[in-house]
Amino acid sequence: MACSQLKLDDFSLRHYTYINQIFGDQTVREIISEVYPSEDYAFKVEPGEGPFEGTDHHVLSSKKHGTLCSVDQGHQNLDVDVNDTLCQSYSLLNYFKIRIAKDKKAKQVAMVKMYRTKLLNNPAFIQKLDEVIHSGNTGTWKDHTKQPSGKHNLQMNKTKILAEIHKTLDQWQAYGYHYFIGDGTCPASKR
């Protein structure tokens, strides 16, 4: 799949809807903690500062290491990578003790692989996610792929949501990683 600005714009809304929103949800992160208990790490949300002002910033609280923050660790810098709002994905990589590469594309590929192998291929996680979907969660998750963005509730259907997550991960690996690197556009040779 070749990269184009139209595809990246579509991908950004899909990623926000099916990755950031769902896997950044407090209930979903509690499920991850249940399925993968940790004696050292706990998920934590702090108010965003600087370029993250007015948003939630996902970090890990650690008995051994204090607070693990993707910005403090040097993985996330919005002055360089303007759309890299992936703190919840970085916190998951840290939680699962997956090495975070310096190479920007390799970071993205590791995130995609983590979602596929650690979460989407885990029947216990999928079962608990299904319980969240069918527990009256209607209205909590918004479908930002429809206009006006954020005005439509996400259809709470496990099969549809999982299919959309997988499609978004496929796009992320094929070309979507460009959205989170540099100015968030496709390389000139691929436009």
- Per-domain residue ranges for the chain? 5-186
CA 117 to chain centre: 14
Please, is 72 exposed, middle or buried when counting C-beta atoms within 10 Å of its C-beta (0-12, 13-18, 19+)?
exposed
Q: What is the pLDDT of residue 136?
A: 64
Q: What is the pLDDT of residue 190?
A: 41
Q: Are 178 and 3 in contact (CB under 8 A)?
A: yes
Q: In what order do the strands lie in the sheet with 41-47?
A: 41-47, 56-62, 66-68
Exposure class string for 148-171: b at 16+ Cβ within 10 A, else e: eeeeeebebeeeebbebbeebbeb
Mean pLDDT to the nearest integer, 61-72 = 91
pTM for this prediction = 0.92
Over pLDDT 90: what percentage of the chain?
Answer: 77
Q: What does the block give as tokens for 2? A: 């070749």
Q: What is the pLDDT of residues 157-182, one digit of tens each?
A: 999 999 999 999 999 999 999 999 99
Residue 137 confidence class, pLDDT cut points 50, 70, 90: low
CA 126 to chain centre: 17
Residue 4 confidence class, pLDDT cut points 50, 70, 90: very high
Mean pLDDT to the nearest integer, 33-51 = 90
* 119 pLDDT more than 90: yes
